[in-house]
Amino acid sequence: MLRTLLLTLSSLLAMARHRPWEPLLIMAAIILANAGLVTVLLINEGATQGELLQSKQGLTLGSIITPADSRTRFTQSDYATLRKQGFTQLVAIAERDITLSCNASKPSTTLTLLGVDTQPLLGSAFRKRGFEAPAQNDSALSLSYLSQNANKFSEMENQQTPAGRELRSNSGGDFAVNGLIHPLTNAKLACHDTLNETNRKSAPSPYWPATVSAYVSSFAPQNTILISIDDFYRGGVTIENDESVKPVIHDNAKRAQEQQVKQQKAYVPLSGFIALSPLSQQHLTQIETLLGIPVKQTTSNTDNDTGSLPDSFRLNLWAMSGLMGVVALFIVLNALNLMYRTRLPNIIRLRQLGISQRILGSALFTELLVYCVISIPIGMFIGFQAASWLSPVINGTFTSLFNAVFVNPDVNLLFTFGFALTTTFISLVVFSLVSIVKLSNALTVTPVKKENALGQFAVGLISLCALLLLFIAEGFVSSTASALFFVTLLLLTSCALILLWLPIFSRLLTRFVPRQWPVFHYVIANMHLLSSKTRLAVCAFFIALTANIGMNTMTDSFRDATEQWLTQRLYAPFYLYTDAPLSRIETLSTKSSPPLALTPLLKAEGAVIGSHAQEETHKETCENSNSSPTYVSISSYPVHQNGKKALVLDDVINNDLNTVWREFTEGKGVFINQQLAFSLNAKLGHTLDIENIHLRKTANSSSSAINTSNEAYSSPQDKTTDPTQGSQSSSSNSNVFAVTPQWKVLGIYPDYGNLNGQILVPLPSFNRNDVLIRDQLFSGVMAIYPEPSIEANVIGDNKQSTYGKDILEQQLKSQLGEHREIALYTRQALLDTSMQTFDRTFVLTDGLNITTLLVAGVAFAVSLTVLSIGSAAQLSVLRALGVSQLKVKASLFAQYLLLCFISALLAIPFGVYLAYVFIQQVNRHAFNWVYPLSLNAQVILSSVGLSLFIVSLVLLLPLGKLKPKIDLRQEVQL
């Protein structure tokens, strides 16, 4: 029994060796499907883990207390005082920049060396409640490393610790320090192992002869090496500003040492205190009383600005991988068909030898299993490779633009393999059954098939109905899931339609091709015949191409929209990103040598509880009363002419920009972004109900202001015409607005990549008098442009503006102080960076597009081989008629290309429709924003061209092999 099975199997494998083409195709399809799946799986997993990582960035979760006046610094005794008064949630930190370099070839990296008082973190209060549960083990272990005072690593490494990185200071390695490094930062570093003190002219590098063993832990913030503050303040790094060196000199050698130390001393003050739990206003007041200096609390909100692009990116990936899977299935189906078709004679012989059907069946399945077992690991390996090859790219993409993290995920290899094997094998079995059944049906029944062609009229009617149904279905799309479902529906419907229309088209073509060119006529006529037999391949190609066109059009539209939007929005030649307080920057405009105008970006937060139509026309209110408020950020928008030019609005009341602009500048209304408009279902002219307007979480607590607008509770009439309200608020010190604007929606603007609602409020409406509040409102972004009087000289002159950038940078540095973080960008640089990042994001899409097309091409190639067996007789006739072999091949080639071309033509409208659905339905529901669909002929044509090119390449393979003559000795009549 087993022997028979083995014999059968070996004969099957021998057949496979004899005709290796089909088994290889099957294996290739399996490899492809698995590789694609694993890649997508890994990338998504990595992104998810990256997000998790970021959300549990241990230390940065808390808020930081610093002196309100940036010139004063906390001292060690301040710290002791606070802790002794019970502020045990405060942890002292200090930081300075260090440079990591490997050798001359690679550029060096600058990281922040962050010293944290790890002692309090070891306490039970921290261990128990401190941080998020998943991070807890990690952080505790990490901390134990930190407090390990040095070189115990030989032992520690026996434990399964995350890989460490040894960094030696260039001032010697005399004491060992344990440090933590964020996985992402670690990934960015290559061979960097020399730790240099930053060589700034102003500060000579301090004497800090450490060997840092940096352990990978998500507890550390990014771009930072976290060490204990004890190790931080060693050697020449001191916390005391005075130069009195301790007279603890034991001997001459030591004295010399001290001398050296003295030379390389660096005064590094405490950067602040991390508050492991945020402090209330009351506590801050208490701290201020204790220390005698005003303090402020800054909360790092790393979590909110990630935006939706990683999500859309992931969606994109999944869609592509799904397509790839489907197409791979098509290949397998085709290849199996072909393989069993060619084996049929041998199988019959085997049956005649008395091998039971059961054994034959199990031998066939075993053969499939062998293919699976061989090809799945290969596929997975390729997938892993691809993912790790792609991940640096993704890494960069994710971090630079979306502020999300991507890490290399660790995946259970065995589980993945088992899963892949089971699914692949099961689907293979199902497919082989399909083709076997089909084959045996063909053998047993052998019906004289009558072409049951539907009349053109019927086809037209059906198509019309299908399209109509599709349009109706689109109306019901109301969520992301249903939008995706609709995409599937669209693809399937279009597939069905293509199958209906292809014969008709080809028949039409046959009619038009004159009979003077017999070969060509044969080609067309035969193609019509083929079209019914190559359904699967055509479907695969069609779906791949439609998706391709849809995806590319969507991406292209997005790119256009983004670029246009950015170009218009970035109106100033320079943008300054800084951590300096607004009050200090504002003095710049007066001091700078060419007079500059500065426009800061101010931000506040609020909650929108709903919107309602203008009361003047109809009394009924509250069209939409969301029970839960929508949190929005309220941003300032300049009211000068540049601002007006830069404003991009999708929708404007009465389409009258000038009127709207005037109303906006007068505070009679605001602009909202699409996201908010969609989520509130707010229309132009509606009035928003806003409450709880407050400073952002970074709020300086000595001025944490809450301006509860009464509007939410008062009647609509009051809302729109209440001039007293503004003045009332401005009388209070703790108000965001000097004059509260009316929350009437004047226009809706696009805000790509933002997940949250946003409201633009005229800049003058914000509080102008209170310096503290203004500093808090300031988002750290400032538009800088020349005074309008000399504007003409600078704008548009690229050379001059780069020249100006250096000058400006110097001026800024000199006025704000060296220690301030300043990043000055020219408009063009910002634009370029954004667009580069954008392009990099969608590199992967291109790759997947090509893969999908390739797979579709393979499907075609397979079906060609199947058919060439069937049409061997006709081809022989052609050859006998004296048509050259090349011509026969060319005619076959032309047939398939024509088939492809027709389906490509049909794919274009569906592709565009798909792009529209992607933008208007999927994007709309998943991310709450849409952008205009821009049809770019070049994009579409290049998609079509590329796909035809790929298919033709693939077709050349079997065609090259094809021998259009029959060896009668080989032929088995069935």
Query: How crowded is residue 542: how many other Cβ atoms within 10 Å of its Cβ?
Result: 26
Closer CB to another protein, 82 or 570, in the complex: 82
- Is there a contact between 132 and 114 (Cβ–Cβ < 8 Å)? no
Q: In angstroms, what is the minimal distance from the CB of 701 to another protein?
A: 7
| Interface segment toward another protein; rule CB under 8 A; list 239-247, 313-321, 519-527, 851-859 | 239-247
Helix residue ranges per DSSP H, 871-884: 872-880
Cα 451 to the center of its chain, rounded Å: 50
Place of tokens 């997940």: 755
Q: Does residue 106 bind another protein (CB under 8 A)?
A: no
CA angle 930, 479, 631 (to 5 degrees): 70
Closer CB to another protein, 202 or 628, in the complex: 628
Q: Does residue 792 bind another protein (CB under 8 A)?
A: no
| Interface segment toward another protein; rule CB under 8 A; list 113-121, 639-647, 761-769, 854-862 | 113-121
Q: Which of 74, 87, 522, 838 binds another protein (CB under 8 A)?
A: 87
Q: Does residue 946 bind another protein (CB under 8 A)?
A: no
Of the candidates 488, 439, 358, which has an alpha carbon nearest to the alpha carbon of residue 8?
Answer: 358
Pairing state of beta strands 651-652 and 670-673? Answer: unpaired
| Interface segment toward another protein; rule CB under 8 A; list 13-21, 97-105, 256-264, 351-359 | 256-264
Q: Does residue 706 bind another protein (CB under 8 A)?
A: yes
The two tokens of residue 965 are: 């003559």
Q: Does residue 158 bind another protein (CB under 8 A)?
A: yes
Q: How far is Cα 652 from Cα 760, in angstroms, rounded to an integer?
A: 14
Spell out the residues 6+ positions from residue 727 whose beta carbon is closer than 8 angstroms to its own. 739
Closer CB to another protein, 293 or 607, in the complex: 607
Q: Which of 32, 195, 216, 229 binds another protein (CB under 8 A)?
A: 229
Query: How crowded is residue 305: how many other Cβ atoms within 10 Å of its Cβ?
Result: 14
Q: How many residues bind another protein (CB under 8 A)?
A: 76
| Interface segment toward another protein; rule CB under 8 A; list 29-37, 254-262, 306-314, 560-568 | 254-262
444 burial class (0-12, 13-18, 19+ CB within 10 angstroms)?
exposed
Q: Which of 2, 17, 77, 107 binds another protein (CB under 8 A)?
A: 77
Closer CB to another protein, 287 or 808, in the complex: 287
Q: Which of 131, 232, 558, 931 binds another protein (CB under 8 A)?
A: 232
3-state secondary structure 80-127: HHHHHCCCCCEEEEEEEEEEEECCCCCCCEEEEEEEECCHHHHCHHHH
Closer CB to another protein, 142 or 921, in the complex: 142
- CB-facing half-sphere around the CA of 538: CA atoms within 13 A: 31
Indicate the angle between helix axes 456-475 and 480-512, nearest 10 degrees: 160
Q: Does residue 277 bind another protein (CB under 8 A)?
A: yes
C-alpha pair distances (Å), 235 with each of 22, 199, 239, 245, 258: 71, 17, 11, 12, 10
- Is there a contact between 241 and 271 (Cβ–Cβ < 8 Å)? no
Of the candidates 754, 644, 753, 632, which has an alpha carbon nearest to the alpha carbon of residue 682?
Answer: 632
Q: Which of 69, 97, 240, 616 binds another protein (CB under 8 A)?
A: 240
Q: Does residue 734 bind another protein (CB under 8 A)?
A: no
Q: Does residue 264 bind another protein (CB under 8 A)?
A: no
| Interface segment toward another protein; rule CB under 8 A; list 248-256, 305-313, 541-549, 677-685 | 248-256
| Interface segment toward another protein; rule CB under 8 A; list 35-43, 79-87, 780-788, 887-895 | 79-87
Q: Does residue 289 bind another protein (CB under 8 A)?
A: no
The interface with another protein within residues 392-411 (CB under 8 A) comprises: none
Q: How far is Cα 644 from Cα 640, in angstroms, rounded to an integer?
A: 7
Q: Which of 3, 71, 246, 450 binds another protein (CB under 8 A)?
A: 246
Closer CB to another protein, 229 or 545, in the complex: 229
Of the candidates 93, 66, 71, which has an alpha carbon nearest to the alpha carbon of residue 288?
Answer: 66
Q: In angstroms, what is the minimal distance from the CB of 692 to another protein?
A: 4
Query: How crowded is residue 54: how many other Cβ atoms within 10 Å of its Cβ?
Result: 23
- Is there a contact between 111 and 197 (Cβ–Cβ < 8 Å)? no
Q: How far is Cα 592 from Cα 586, in angstroms, rounded to an integer?
A: 11
Q: Does residue 230 bind another protein (CB under 8 A)?
A: yes
C-alpha pair distances (Å), 262 with each of 57, 207, 257, 958: 37, 9, 8, 80
Q: Which of 280, 441, 587, 798 binds another protein (CB under 8 A)?
A: 280
Q: Which of 11, 49, 89, 947 binds another protein (CB under 8 A)?
A: 89
- Is there a contact between 772 and 647 (Cβ–Cβ < 8 Å)? no
Q: In angstroms, what is the minimal distance from the CB of 273 to another protein?
A: 12
Q: In angstroms, what is the minimal distance from the CB of 94 to another protein?
A: 8
- The H-or-E segment that residue 707 falls in is strand 706-707
Q: Does residue 251 bind another protein (CB under 8 A)?
A: yes
Q: Does residue 237 bind another protein (CB under 8 A)?
A: yes
Cα 71 to the center of its chain, rounded Å: 40
Q: In angstroms, what is the minimal distance from the CB of 708 to another protein?
A: 5
Q: In angstroms, what is the minimal distance from the CB of 127 to another protein?
A: 8
Indicate the angle between helix axes 518-533 and 843-870, nearest 10 degrees: 110
Closer CB to another protein, 123 or 594, in the complex: 123
The interface with another protein within residues 121-150 (CB under 8 A) comprises: 122-125, 127-129, 136-138, 140-141, 144, 147-150
Q: Does residue 278 bind another protein (CB under 8 A)?
A: yes
- Is there a contact between 194 and 100 (Cβ–Cβ < 8 Å)? yes
Per-residue interface string for the shown chain with another protein, residues 182-221, x marking contact by CB under 8 A? ---------------------------x------------
Closer CB to another protein, 251 or 967, in the complex: 251
Per-residue interface string for the shown chain with another protein, residues 594-613, x marking contact by CB under 8 A? -------------x------
The interface with another protein within residues 635-674 (CB under 8 A) comprises: none
Closer CB to another protein, 159 or 357, in the complex: 159
Q: Which of 21, 131, 233, 842 binds another protein (CB under 8 A)?
A: 233
Q: Which of 253, 414, 445, 937 binds another protein (CB under 8 A)?
A: 253
Closer CB to another protein, 79 or 571, in the complex: 79
CA angle 795, 800, 806 (to 5 degrees): 115
Q: In angstroms, what is the minimal distance from the CB of 582 to another protein?
A: 23
C-alpha pair distances (Å), 755 with each of 556, 630, 744, 923: 21, 12, 22, 11
Q: Does residue 169 bind another protein (CB under 8 A)?
A: no
Closer CB to another protein, 124 or 412, in the complex: 124
| Interface segment toward another protein; rule CB under 8 A; list 3-11, 236-244, 556-564, 757-765 | 236-244
- Is there a contact between 754 and 632 (Cβ–Cβ < 8 Å)? no
Q: How far is Cα 59 from Cα 273, in angstroms, rounded to an integer?
A: 11
Q: Which of 6, 80, 469, 823 binds another protein (CB under 8 A)?
A: 80
The two tokens of residue 602 are: 């101010």
- Is there a contact between 599 and 574 (Cβ–Cβ < 8 Å)? no
Q: How far is Cα 541 from Cα 498, in angstroms, rounded to an integer?
A: 11
| Interface segment toward another protein; rule CB under 8 A; list 279-287, 385-393, 541-549, 563-571 | 279-287
Q: Does residue 304 bind another protein (CB under 8 A)?
A: no
Closer CB to another protein, 7 or 261, in the complex: 261
| Interface segment toward another protein; rule CB under 8 A; list 227-235, 532-540, 570-578, 788-796 | 227-235
